[in-house]
Chains A and B, each alone.
Chain A
């Protein structure tokens, strides 16, 4: 099928670089201009389709940059990132990093906004799993508590932002302008029901959550929290964090 393959390579080359090549010679048309006009329908649709995918995945970045600036940068991403996947779901994966690498690099705040939007997508269609019900804690006998190891729900993500990015996101999506306040914090994203939720984490809870994800047993979790809480207060803090994680549905299982 080398003849067909050659036609497809020339056709695809045209879609990727319409200004540089002329497309397959066997494309029918009364004139080179007419052939080009017909091929351009495909070339333009290709570009527009991928830009629309980015617009769908990064609506707040678009809102913050404005439609035309977003279209320019999205065009450059499309030109340098041909898709290799059957699905468009992951096409925008490298877009946050690209915002920094681009010829007109964007601020770190915009990059964070893009990272936040991509993370929301990851949480949205992450694998399904039952969350551990809140009463499960009550069923753990006291002697088992020190060795308790928790397993996070697969839809949970933790992220560190230097700006108040989730608040900026909500403001932009509500149609208010983008204001970028510096407010370093860690954030937890999770799925409740079918929707994506998030909240900020204090430094103690953020440390504890990461430790929990790393299978650190409960006893060591309490010990680690002594950095922020004195004596018995560390264990109390650990218990109340654990209760909140269960209420939020971010724990999939406990092992002891």
Chain B
């Protein structure tokens, strides 16, 4: 068996699953919706957006000044532990500690508004 095949098998085994991510998104539904602002801002348009930049949403100072641009990496870091990633954030939520669950969640967010 070639090294490539092994590498492929490994990456297939860890491929993020947006279906599972949709379920995990259930944890966010006290505060967020995809298409409209609630306690937290809308998630449609998240990728490539500057943190704290949805017009009309009252972000914390901390989020507005964070200089984060949302992509897979920055989301992974933020969602692992929001108050640690952005001290002072109003998203007072301990986060999604499981890396696989985070990957699934991010995969879901990426395609949810398409």
Q: Do A and B bind each other?
A: no
Q: What is the interface of chain A, defined by CB distance below 8 A to chain B?
A: none
Q: What is the interface of chain B, defined by CB distance below 8 A to chain A?
A: none
